Structure 1
């Protein structure tokens, strides 16, 4: 895997072997395609002549969170590296243009797809703003175990101490992060929780956008907290929502705390449903 569209030892950033899978995000070049390699947790270029289609693999789409570019002047650079450097610029994006966020793991540089440029790359997320009414779309996959259960975990390790839930054959999970070669980060509607699962026990793959509709926050004063857990606790607050802001409800199975996506924060979490209308 390479940082550039050229056969050069200096641009190698990883090694892929027969049987490894990659997800193609840009196939516009005749020879070198831009791909994401889950086994490496990296994006880069590979020679497309050594790739063959896998028709039963989970579908991958560049469609993610739709966001709008907003700069005071000039342009927002699309880059092939996570750094402010003129040498890594691969495109220019201007105020009002839409991009689709694929990966938000870095605090500053997010991986995005620009429809106008037809390119995938990194950009400074501080110049991106949510497009009202959009939520991320992910693969829905099904649990399949021969016996027992598939554990939902707090960490990427097989350890009884990190189990937070049990998933059984036929349960559906929504894939949110496939950067690890074994443990994927998922949302499990049956448990109302997020966590890691061993991806070897997941099957299928249906591109699915999950939402129970848009709801509006209404509080008499202050804010509505977005939380990591279904509890009123200052330690689990991850964001603040104010009157008039909208959220997309994903799971309303709990009588008090609903699982939502907040476009203004670009985050998922739990909120007290009593303050949604």
Structure 2
């Protein structure tokens, strides 16, 4: 075979591989984007938030899952929750866009109706190289809830600070709640916890989605203060929270850590690595 024939054969093989990669990548991103875009209405956002939150919380049928979940103690202490998904895209355009909801705990211990939020950058389409990351921000103070209830923008690290939240069970978790940051941030990429920084992230009240669902321009403060009754479309979300708050942790070993940006898990008591993201 001549050098030219070898070159042609190699080029043909490379072309087939590239086409397969593009087809597979486009299909994967199309599926992810379809799931993502369906959540732009409040009912879709509530359904998506329930699925996301369930992946961060312990499964009541498997109590041992509490060892690798947002702690029950953190959840019971929460004054509010912001749950959203971010798609970061490259190759064609670079940027990120996300949407989700925020809910607040009411004085009687129940949860408010959801208010839609979004974060964004450059617009995006079906692009190769998109990553999907799920976020749960636990609002630990009334100040944090007010930041979302005031309307307009909430800048993480600007208006209010956030720290990577603890995961697991035991006394170390309780100690972290003695003087918690206003917000604990949790993130998962490809199903694994990672301590991704939210510093500088801007979350925006989606007045359009709220108005469309609630039928009028209801401000976020009315939604989060309980003046708007919780809708049936958010019932699955409330069920997920209630189940996780009632999980039986008796008999479980004490194990608490904080995810780092690299996915390592640092023991919150000793600062040592407990196990890494690939090994759990």
Instruction: Give TM class, smaller chain.
Output: under 0.3
More strand by share: 1
Normalised by the size of structure 1, how large is the TM-score?
A: 0.23
